Amino acid sequence: MQIARHQISFLQDLNEKQFEAVTLDSGSALVLAGAGSGKTRVLTSRISWLIHNQIVGPGGLLAVTFTNKAAREMITRITAQLPINTRGMWIGTFHGLCNRFLRLHHVDANLPETFQILDSQDQLSAIKRLMRSMNVDEDNFPPREVQYHINGYKEEGLRSNVIKPYDNHSKKIIEIYAEYEKQCQKDGVVDFAELLLRCYEVLREKPQLLHHYQERFSHLLIDEFQDTSELQYKWIKLLAGDKNQVFAVGDDDQSIYSFRGARVGNMKDLQKDFKIKDVIKLEQNYRSKNNILNAANAIISNNEDRLGKNLWTDLGHGDPIRQYVAISDLDEANFIIDEVKQLHRSGLNYSQIAILYRSNAQSRVIEHAIVSNNIPYRVYGGLRFFERAEVKHALAYLRLISNKSDDNALLRIINFPARGIGSKSLEKLQDEAKLKNISLWDAANAGPPNTSNLKKGIPYFVKLIKTIEDEIHGLTIAESIDIINERSGLLQHYQNDKDGLDRISNLQELVSAAVTFADSSEIDNASLNLVEFLNYTSLESGELQASSDQDALQLMTIHSAKGLEFETVFITGLEDGLCPHEQSMSEPNGLEEERRLMYVAVTRAKIKLYLTLSQSRMLHGQTQYNIPSRFLDEIPEELVKALNTAKRQDVLTQPIRNFMPTTNTSYPWKIGTNLNHPKFGNGVVTGYEGEQHDLRIQVKFSSHGIKWLALEYAKLTEI
C-alpha cells in the first residue's frame, strides 16, 4: 500500500530502514538495531503505526521491555504520537506482565488473590529459615549459592521434581528447592523467577486460557531481544502460537548478559521458528562520530557467530581515538583526571564524561585520584569502593582488632559469615553490655571459652578474633588484611556468591589499597599507621559522592554503561586479563562475549574516546606486569592517536619496559604470543628471564594464572 508519509507526523523523520521496519505489512520481523540507531523510536512508531492504520487495537498489542523506565518511556512516546488512552495496554517488563496475568488468573495459577512477591533479600531470608528448619549446614550449603541454583533452575523452566542430581551436593540442593516450593505455596508468595515460570506453566496447561490470549494479542513486540532467556523465548513462542506476529528489536553485538541467563542464540531461533527471511538492519548511528564507529565495527568483526551489520553516521569523522600507555595504574588514573579537568575547563560538564572499567575493583585507584583532586563524582549502578559491603566487612575485622570498644564493627561481623548467632543471642549480649557498662567485646569475652570444634556461636567468634590478632601481630596492614580475608571466611563465603568474583576482586584490591597507603605514609609506628589507614578509608568513602541533581563525573562498569551515552568516554584497564577478563578464556564463547562488551564500551562515546592501559598494575598487593588487550590490536592504526611517546606498534608487539633482560639472547616467541601447554592449557607470553640454556619464559595461563617455565623443558606450542 502507498503511504502518504508526509501526512503522518511520527513517520516524517524516519530514515529509509526505520521506515521499512515501522511500516512492514505483515509477518514476523527481526530488526537488527545497532547502537544509537533509534531502536526505541522504531518500536514505539511501529505500535503507533499498527493502531493508526487500524491493523490492531490498543488492546490487541503486547509489548515487552527490560526495564520499567523503558516501558514508561514507550508509553509517553505513544501518547505523544496518537490521541489514545494507553492505560489498558499491555506494555511492561516480563516480570510486570506476568504479575498482571497471575493477578487476573490467580485461581488457575493456584495462588491467593493477594499473593505477595518476594524480592531478592526476602527470598534469601526465606531460604535461610527453611534451611535451619531442615538442619542444613550453611557452611556446606551457603544460602546465596542455594538461592542462585533455585533461580537458575526456574529460569530454565525446571521444577524440582524433574531435575536429575549428579552428586550428593546437587541432590541436597534439589531437596531444599523442593521444600522451598512447598513453603512458598503454603505462604502464598512468589519470587521474581516464579512469576515468569508460573505464568508460562498456566498458559501451557490451560488450553482455553492460552487460546484466549493468543486470540487477543495478535501482535507481540519485544525490545532488547538479545537479552531474552531460554524461558522468556518459550513464553513468547507460546503466546504467539501459529498465526500471531512477533516484532523483535535487538542487537546480537550487544548481548553481554549471559551470566544472567541471556541467550544470544534466541535471535537465530526466532528467524527459524517464525520463518523470517529478511532481517531489517538499522545501521545508521545518530550518536557517535565515524572514527568511533569504525573502531567498534573493526573490533566486533572479529566475532564469528553474529548476524552482521556495519554502523555508519553522517555526523563526520571526528577526532582520532586517543590512546595512553601508563607506567602504572596510579599513572593511568592521574592521566585520566588531568584530562577530565582540562575537558571541564573547556566547558564540558562532568556529567558528560564517563570512566568505564571491566571490573568493579578497578575503581579504587581512580576514586582516589578523583577525591585527591576535589572532583564531584557518582558511581553509576553501584557503590564507591570503600562503601562496598565486602570491603566494609573486611575493614570491620581490622577495626575491631584495632579498637575492641568499636561496637559497630563487632555487630557488623559477629555473624558474618554466618556462625549461627541469632538475634536472641545478640540481644542478650547487648543487654549484658549495657547492664555492666562495658563494650560488646568485653561482654562476649566474659562468656565461657570455646572448647568445642564447632565453628559457631559467640565463643567461637571470640576465639577467631584472638587467633587473627595473634597471626597479624607485627605484620604490615596489607598482610593483615590478606589474613583477615582468609581466616574470617570472607573469601570462602563469596566464592559461593553469584557476584562472588567481583566481591573477591574488591577484597584483593583492599590489600593493594593498603600497600599504596603504606608506600605514601610517613609514619613508622605500626599501630598509628593502622589508625591512619582506617581514617583514610573513612575519608575516601566519598564525601564527594554527588547528589542526584549535581554535575558529577560518571564512574561505572561497562555492563552498567549499556544503554547510556556520553560526550567523552574513557575505557580503562585495557590489558589482557582485565579486558578481556581472564575468566572469559576458560568459558565457551567467553572471548566473543568480552568482545561484545568492548563494542558496547566503545559505542557509548559521542565525540571523544580515550583508551588507557597500564604496563604494571597492583593486584592483590603485588605488582603485575601486563600485556595490552588484544582488542587494541583489532582497531585500525589510522584511527588512533598515541598520547605518549611509545609508538602504538611498540606497545602492542614489544616487551614491557624493564621486564625482559637486555641481552643478545634470542627469544622464540614475542610478548603476547598465544601458546598451549599440555597441562596448563592456553596462555599468553608475558616475559622472559635468564640467558641461553637457563632461559625461563613467563606465561599467563587462562585457568592456572602466571607460571615461570624452563624453556628447555616446557612443552609449549604456538596456537
Residues known to be catalytic: 39-40, 223-224, 254, 604
Q: Residue-wise over 484-499: b if at least 16 C-beta within 10 A, else e?
A: bbebbbbbebbebbbe
C-alpha count within 13 angstroms, C-beta hemisphere, residue 141: 24
Q: Report the DSSP pairing between strands 696-701 and 681-689.
A: antiparallel
* Beta carbons within 10 angstroms of residue 473's beta carbon: 10
Cα 224 to Cα 94: distance, rounded to the nearest angstrom? 12
Cα 672 to Cα 719: distance, rounded to the nearest angstrom? 12
**Cα 137–Cα 139–Cα 144 angle in degrees, nearest 5:** 95
Cα 152 to Cα 197: distance, rounded to the nearest angstrom? 11
* Beta carbons within 10 angstroms of residue 588's beta carbon: 8
Cα 47 to Cα 41: distance, rounded to the nearest angstrom? 10
Cα 23 to Cα 173: distance, rounded to the nearest angstrom? 50
For 44, the 3-state DSSP assignment is: helix
* Whether 368 contacts 355, CB under 8 Å: no
For the chain, how many residues are written?
719
Cα 649 to Cα 647: distance, rounded to the nearest angstrom? 5
The 3-class secondary structure across 507-539, one letter per residue, is HHHHHHHHHHHHHHCCCCCHHHHHHHHHHHHHH
Q: Residue-wise over 84-108: b if at least 16 C-beta within 10 A, else e?
A: eeeeebbbbbbbbbbbebbeebbeb
Q: 662: which strand partners?
A: none
